[in-house]
Structure 1
């Protein structure tokens, strides 16, 4: 490649990176209409449209407050001084296959479900490599000694076996999981609901510095962004997205960990929960999730690996795979059925891309074949034990 061509390519890359960073500052978080615009016209043209206010109605409100603020170059300089970087969908480090789940979500239903525009990072780990085999470990901020011990033991075992521990750096279970991974020299990723230059909680500045030394501190929010309640809910989807499963160790009835489990289930990731003492308020949320089929009961690292480990590819033999003979709409509906919890026919239609009438017509046949069952909450996948 000639010097002129190489210079042109470098300029194009720089302009695209500046455009991504500018848009990240404008919307500060997930924004499905902006993601759709970028997919349609490209990131540089989308940035121009935002600057010049040539936008569809759905984007005028979300971009109005900050569209005239362009600190992209300064933001990149600030990250460089921190030893950090921005990761965009143009980069090899971008975990594109992880983001496919978010891409399939109905953002009319889940407003925070959009793919992040960029991810800001501190730490030596490659995000793509770190998320190849990862488990999210979350739970109560007001954890008990029992919860801290169990979270530490399971996270320590997983990290020692080469699994990345993903969590949110909060007090309690999150911190116990991060510390356990660090203690055995394992990989850990902390996902924040603020800029990566702002330790949150402030008391965890040393913990976050230790994670940044060997692991990864991550956020979709640009430098200087403060933590706010709605950002934690959006942050939870990234914790769920980056793991092969979500493990909850202690959670009260109103715990935010249940929100992370919700995201895991919508993304098709297994959700797991550790039981606690029967009278423990700290474990009441785990017990409810287990009882209501939202999460699988696990008690050790081996259980987690069994659920979150590599997929076992189906064999084209109806004696071992009772659904191998399915074709067309039947196969699509069966693939949309959850193994944990239940989905209503409308949800199955959205997941499979079929119309509601077709889904309703197919479900009774799957039930007769012992491939599907239903309860008061909807339809679910069975093991097909009745098949010969």
Structure 2
């Protein structure tokens, strides 16, 4: 299932433009995003020349250790032409750092030097839709919240998103069920523009139940991802996607969020990147408003009751401070390193997968993959099946 539209395909131009696009496409896949080391290698070591950077990665000659490690699993897999053909077939395009529509004002503010979490900008953006991505440079608001939204949450989301869209604000969210979907639908219903940022390739309608909604979003706005076509959603990719939702907008509004909601992760990114953060209060008895009440109680978010509250702070001047805490109940994957989490997500949902394929899917070296698999096995999160590996769920191995 795809989200095909009639937008102009990419890349345009002659052989030189196609070679440059292919280099960007290769670089967007060769390391698991986000990757500060690769971005620095392109921008600083090769002065933004994607062809020179791509050739250096392929040849493995003189690579910095961090870049060599980040690209070791995928450097020999060059499917750039296939990826460009897929995005062209969808009527989309690859937007790169040398494109006119690259949202420059936003990506300049992604820098988090010295941070433990990689919050670097995307290498490139794969997009389907009529809207130019430079539109993200002003009057863009992220509206996020729980997938298990209450009737109250969906109502408030629709009111805020619809009124913002009517005032020509760009409504940005992640296309998930619940608050995300309500925000997109309200913006469309108001005749406005909305953007969905995915944690997978734009050729994958995720969730599948929102395939029609994603097509409507692309027709009026844009569906985009930093991940090339065919890339499957994974938990670490949702966490990485959240930094784009927060970082490519002026303000983030959390409508409903439980104690362990992914929306709180997006809120944390908004804080780190000095974006305005707002939260909607809910009933004191509602589990889906616990996260919002925590943000308000800790004075980390402004109160949002309607679109006017959002418009007061949605601009270049809103800034809040500290990163989110780690409150709440433990999950089986809590405490895993970034590499271990990527390897965990590289295991198939069903059946088994050789360690070499897990390495490629996770975007880490085979040695790192084997070490992570050993940790996952000890933690009861993975199980060896002969020469292959399987995911362990709460009800037993996925291979069963």
- Relative to the length of structure 1, the TM-score reads 0.76
Q: Call closer, same or farther: CA 1:23–1:272 in 2, change over 3 Å.
A: same
| 1:73 aligned partner | 81
| 1:212 aligned partner | 218
| 1:50 aligned partner | 57
Looking at structure 2, the residues matched to 212 and 281 of structure 1 have their Cα atoms a distance apart, in angstroms, of: 33
Aligned: 1:300 with 2:301: no
Aligned: 1:192 with 2:198: yes
Looking at structure 2, the residues matched to 89 and 164 of structure 1 have their Cα atoms a distance apart, in angstroms, of: 22
Number of residue pairs matched by the alignment: 307
Looking at structure 1, the residues matched to 322 and 226 of structure 2 have their Cα atoms a distance apart, in angstroms, of: 31
Q: Call closer, same or farther: CA 1:56–1:341 in 2, change over 3 Å.
A: closer
Which has the larger Rg?
Answer: 1
Looking at structure 2, the residues matched to 127 and 36 of structure 1 have their Cα atoms a distance apart, in angstroms, of: 23
Return the offset for 1:14.
2.8
Looking at structure 2, the residues matched to 148 and 198 of structure 1 have their Cα atoms a distance apart, in angstroms, of: 25
Looking at structure 1, the residues matched to 308 and 181 of structure 2 have their Cα atoms a distance apart, in angstroms, of: 22
Question: Which secondary structure does the structure 2 equivalent of 1:87 belong to?
Answer: strand
| Pairs within 5 Å for 1:66-215 | 66-102=74-110, 104-106=111-113, 108-111=115-118, 113-215=119-221
Specify which structure has the higher proportion of helix. 1
Looking at structure 1, the residues matched to 260 and 143 of structure 2 have their Cα atoms a distance apart, in angstroms, of: 17
Picking from 12, 15, 19, the partner of 1:15 is 19
Looking at structure 1, the residues matched to 52 and 303 of structure 2 have their Cα atoms a distance apart, in angstroms, of: 48
Return the offset for 1:11.
4.3
Unaligned runs of 5+ in 1: 1-8, 312-337, 344-388
Q: Which runs of 4+ in 1 moved over 4 A?
A: none
Q: Deviations over 1:340-374 (max 9, x none)?
A: 3459xxxxxxxxxxxxxxxxxxxxxxxxxxxxxxx
Q: Is the 8 A contact 2:87 2:93 kept in 1?
A: yes
Q: Is the 8 A contact 1:293 1:341 kept in 2?
A: no
Structure with larger RCO (C-alpha < 8 A, sep 6+): 2
- Relative to the length of structure 2, the TM-score reads 0.74
Looking at structure 2, the residues matched to 222 and 46 of structure 1 have their Cα atoms a distance apart, in angstroms, of: 18
Picking from 67, 82, 97, the partner of 1:59 is 67
Q: What RMSD in Å do the two structures reach over aligned CA positions?
A: 1.6
